[in-house]
């Protein structure tokens, strides 16, 4: 936790006013100042789960008087705040997966910031309560969620798209030559990404409706029109389809978000954050002309050229673009309530007859995405005692993925799980599989049950193991062949399919494996 002594007292005063997500609450629009006040209040109320800083304070991004924001009636240079949420009591954890959420690169697209700050409140409310949703508690304990609610702080303050005339989502060094990082916005995002190892990212926008993924740049449009397929298309397709359905239907017309590659359902841009976050660490090795350039901006005193050169680890993320609403600032009433965020309704896809507002829809999507960053196996029924010669039932859940290629129990007489007996392998799907994916007929929703008869008295050790999402490495042929034609390049795909995968940055590591295991349960058999 980073302390902010000048505001701790003020933050403590507003902490008690934070909305409790256990009661039904209507969402509303907040100003830049109100969002910043909320961030400080969250830091004060949840010090063991929050690190709060601005890009200016942490990375030396300049404070500019021409980019002024108002907080508490006082005008001062805008700051680009970042809230990191994780259970700090369990750190350091080099393998903890990281997820990035951007509220708004375009300041007049207003749903994203409301979703981002509501997500922070929701995660922390449950993490900090004894009766909090156990699933949400687990997300905070096992992931690091990094949120920039008002990514374009000045644009958000002024309710305009750009920053001082420059479009931040045309300002990243993807297919832009040296004309990039002219905005404080893009530089702030760049610093955060250079500092982390994100596996998944969401960038919220507005002006249409869609959930889309790479490719989204002009150099990846097919000559016949439409999008070339990325090397990671299969995993992106699964995630986007699931996110669309889990978010639920729009109140306006009872439809889901359309989903697909950006160049198919949105439009191609150069300098976008989307393809930059996905490919800046690797694509120059495979594509000619090289899309990742070295920036030479002159705005705001310039920006070091070295800041636009990357190692092979930092930019290998799914970066999902969510266009939240046809209106860039839909009515306050259409933001909706948190009625669909109960534990019961979060446990599954909503009934097809249910509609909901913009904030809850995108908050649900964000929670699903955070879960999917890493597979896990958890016990549901794990007896600690059993009778020899009598069948004992055990049940476990496989999650953090979509399809389960194999799962089974391994049973050993040794605590180190050496020389285990393996039960018959099962296959199925997790809770995140949706029938619209149409790749499986399984309906088990992540739950697996095994009856096992312990042969004799003694102490046994039991662990459930699973292999997930191996078809994410599947790639197309002909018109859908990946461009460039290489194997999947992202951390999130390779971490679950490739045992040779290993990348590190700034004390953070992603290591590939194909088998995920539960905790070991000790069973005393009499």
Summarize pLDDT for 156-192 with one digit per residue, the tens: 999 999 999 999 999 999 999 999 999 999 999 999 9
> What pLDDT does residue 271 have?
99
Q: What percent of the chain has pLDDT over 90?
A: 95
Same domain, 313 and 397: no
Does residue 398 belong to any structural domain of this protein? yes
> What pLDDT does residue 22 have?
52
Q: Which of 312, 340, 372 is the last residue of a domain?
A: 372
CATH number at residue 366: 3.40.630.10
Same domain, 365 and 399: no
pLDDT tens, residue by residue, 87-110: 999 999 999 999 999 999 999 999
- Helix, coil or strand: residue 468: strand
Which residues does residue 208 pair with via DSSP β-bridges, in sequence order?
A: 325
Q: Is the predicted pLDDT of residue 232 greater than 50, yes or no? A: yes
Same domain, 47 and 181: yes
Same domain, 442 and 454: yes
Sheet holding 376-381, edge to edge: 376-381, 391-399, 447-453
Tokens of 197: 């190892």
Does residue 218 belong to any structural domain of this protein? no
Q: Is the predicted pLDDT of residue 392 greater than 80, yes or no? A: yes
Q: What's the whole-number mean pLDDT along residues 344-359? A: 98
Q: Is the predicted pLDDT of residue 10 greater than 90, yes or no? A: no
Q: What's the whole-number mean pLDDT along residues 261-266? A: 98
Q: Is the predicted pLDDT of residue 519 greater than 90, yes or no? A: yes
pLDDT tens, residue by residue, 439-498: 999 999 999 999 999 999 999 999 999 999 999 999 999 999 999 999 999 999 999 999
Same domain, 320 and 395: no
> What pLDDT does residue 141 have?
98
Q: Which long-range contacts (CB under 8 A, 24 or more apart) does 4-9 make?
A: 4/40, 4/43, 4/52, 7/40, 8/40, 8/44
Number of structural domains, the chain?
2
Same domain, 280 and 414: no
pTM listed for this prediction: 0.95
Q: Is the bond into 495 cis (omega within 30 degrees of 0)?
A: no
Q: Is the predicted pLDDT of residue 11 greater than 70, yes or no? A: no
Q: How many Cα atoms are found within 13 Å in the side-chain-facing hemisphere of 416?
A: 2
Same domain, 113 and 185: yes
Does residue 251 belong to any structural domain of this protein? no
Does residue 238 belong to any structural domain of this protein? no
Same domain, 390 and 368: no
CATH number at residue 506: 2.60.40.10
Contact 360, 339 (CB under 8 A): yes
Q: Is the predicted pLDDT of residue 24 greater than 90, yes or no? A: no
Q: Is the predicted pLDDT of residue 4 greater than 70, yes or no? A: no
Q: Which of 350, 372, 394 is the last residue of a domain?
A: 372
- Mean pLDDT for the chain? 96
Range of the domain at 172: 8-207+269-328+358-372
Does residue 253 belong to any structural domain of this protein? no
- Helix, coil or strand: residue 346: helix
Sheet holding 144-148, edge to edge: 50-54, 81-85, 144-148, 98-102, 198-205, 318-325, 208-213, 259-261
> What pLDDT does residue 19 have?
46
Same domain, 289 and 186: yes
């Amino acid at each position: 936790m980073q302390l902010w002594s000048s505001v701790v007292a003020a933050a403590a005063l507003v902490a008690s006013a934070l909305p409790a997500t256990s009661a039904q609450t209507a969402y509303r629009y907040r100003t830049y100042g109100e969002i910043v006040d909320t961030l400080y209040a969250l830091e004060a109320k949840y010090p063991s789960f929050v690190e709060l800083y601005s890009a200016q304070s942490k990375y030396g991004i300049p404070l500019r008087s021409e980019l002024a924001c108002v907080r508490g009636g006082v005008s001062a240079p805008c700051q680009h705040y970042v809230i990191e949420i994780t259970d700090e009591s369990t750190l350091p954890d080099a393998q903890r997966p990281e997820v990035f959420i951007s509220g708004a690169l375009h300041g007049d697209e207003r749903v994203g910031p409301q979703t981002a700050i509501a997500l922070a409140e929701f995660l922390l409310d449950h993490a900090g309560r004894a009766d909090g949703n156990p699933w949400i508690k687990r997300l905070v304990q096992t992931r690091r969620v990094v949120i920039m609610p008002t990514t374009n702080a000045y644009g958000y303050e002024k309710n305009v798209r750009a920053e001082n005339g420059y479009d931040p989502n045309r300002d990243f060094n993807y297919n832009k030559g040296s004309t990039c990082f002219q905005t404080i916005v893009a530089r702030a995002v760049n610093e955060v990404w250079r500092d982390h190892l994100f596996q998944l990212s969401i960038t919220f926008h507005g002006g249409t409706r869609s959930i889309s993924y790479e490719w989204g740049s002009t150099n990846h449009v097919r000559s016949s029109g439409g999008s070339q397929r990325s090397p990671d298309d299969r995993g992106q397709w699964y995630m986007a389809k699931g996110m669309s359905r889990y978010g639920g239907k729009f109140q306006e017309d009872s439809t889901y978000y359309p989903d697909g590659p950006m160049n198919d359902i949105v439009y191609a841009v150069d300098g976008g954050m989307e393809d930059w976050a996905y490919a800046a660490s690797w694509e120059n090795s495979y594509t000619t002309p090289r899309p990742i350039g070295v920036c030479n901006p002159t705005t705001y005193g310039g920006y070091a050229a070295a800041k636009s050169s990357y190692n092979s680890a930092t930019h290998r993320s799914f970066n999902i673009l969510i266009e939240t609403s046809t209106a860039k600032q839909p009515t306050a009433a259409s933001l909706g309530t948190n009625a669909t965020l109960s534990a019961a309704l979060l446990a599954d896809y909503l009934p097809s007859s249910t509609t909901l507002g913009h904030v809850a829809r995108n908050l649900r999507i964000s929670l699903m995405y955070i879960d999917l960053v890493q597979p896990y196996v958890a016990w549901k029924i794990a007896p600690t005692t059993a009778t020899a010669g009598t069948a004992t039932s055990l049940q476990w859940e496989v999650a953090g993925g979509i399809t389960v290629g194999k799962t089974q129990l391994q049973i050993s007489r040794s605590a180190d799980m050496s020389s285990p007996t393996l039960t018959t392998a099962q296959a199925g799907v997790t809770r995140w599989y949706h029938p619209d994916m149409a790749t499986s007929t399984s309906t088990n929703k992540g739950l697996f049950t095994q009856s096992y008869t312990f042969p004799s008295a003694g102490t046994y050790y039991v662990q459930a193991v699973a292999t997930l999402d191996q078809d994410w490495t599947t790639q197309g042929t002909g018109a859908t062949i990946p461009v460039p034609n290489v194997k999947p390049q992202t951390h999130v795909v390779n971490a679950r399919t490739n045992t040779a995968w290993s990348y590190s940055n700034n004390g953070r590591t992603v290591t590939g494996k194909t088998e995920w295991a539960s905790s070991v349960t000790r069973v005393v058999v009499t």
